[in-house]
Structure 1
Amino acid sequence: MDHIAITGRQIAAARALLGMSQSKLAEGANISVPTLKRMEASDGPASGMINNVAAVRLVLESAGIEFFNGTGVKLGSR
């Protein structure tokens, strides 16, 4: 995992690609649903504690999501 910031829109798009609910992602990242909602609602880089954003990113990347160019996401092979 690199240290490029991910955006709230990337998190929401990644979740949509996976068909993953907010509650499932929040549970996997060990954060609350309201915390995830705030991240996804962020303009620009996802807001929140760095460790929480990293945990969300890890769950999504473990499910096959690739983040790129600071704005894009794709579902790669696992």
Structure 2
Amino acid sequence: MTLTIGNQLKAARALAEVDQKWVAEKSGVSVNTIRNMEARGGEPITSGAVTVKKVQTALEAAGVEFLPENGGGAGVRLRKQAPA
């Protein structure tokens, strides 16, 4: 599953409880790039595939799962933790 829209990125950050600066640092892209990606809102992100993958990988390492579109749009959730 992939990061596709700006609102999905914003929701992923909220679930992971991280700010734009954290995502930028962990993904190796600029804060302005993160801002621009989120500014797309419900529209597709127009950044390059390599940039999107870097951002997605950083958020996945923070425990976020990206969900496929299922008629209601793309989504995110926190990865389920294994029972202790």
- Both proteins in one fold, TM over 0.5: yes
Shift of 1:44: 2.1
Number of the residue aligned with 2:17: 19
Shift of 1:45: 1.9
In structure 1, what residue type is equivalent to 2:16? Answer: L
**Poorly superposed stretches of 4+, deviation over 2 Å:** none
Local SS of the residue matching 1:73: strand
Q: What residue ranges of structure 1 are gaps of 5+ in the alignment?
A: none
Number of residue pairs aligned between Structure 1 and Structure 2? 76
Q: Percent identity?
A: 37
Measured against aligned partners, the alpha-carbon deviations of 1:41-68 in whole angstroms (never above 9, x if no partner) come to 1142222121111100001111111111
Shift of 1:31: 0.6
In structure 2, what residue type is equivalent to 1:66? Answer: E
Number of the residue aligned with 2:35: 37
Shift of 1:69: 2.5
Gap change, CA 1:5 and 1:61, over 3 Å in 2:
closer
